[in-house]
Amino acid sequence: MPPTPPDAPVFAPLNRAAGRVYFAGDHLSPTDACQHGAFTSARKAVTVLHGRVPA
């Protein structure tokens, strides 16, 4: 059985904020490369956080 991809619906709760908590890491990225996946996942979380900060 192949591994479940991180963009599968089962991972949707981990890819959303849980109140003020955001999860990021290579395990939540569809990218195969570990460091690149961690970076893109972290960037996504920081972008969402940045959008919550009032101007």
3-state SS, one letter per residue, for the chain? CCCCCCCCHHHHHHHCCECCECCCCHHHCCCCCHHHHHHHHHHHHHHHHHHHCCC
Q: Whole-structure pTM over 0.75, yes or no?
A: no
Q: What is the mean pLDDT of residues 27-55?
A: 84
Say if residue 6's pLDDT is above 70.
no
6: left (phi over 0), alpha (psi -120 to 50) or beta: alpha
CA distances (Å), origin 40, targets 6, 29, 37, 55: 13, 7, 5, 24
| Banded model confidence at residue 46, pLDDT cuts 50, 70, 90 | very high
Say if residue 51's pLDDT is above 80.
yes
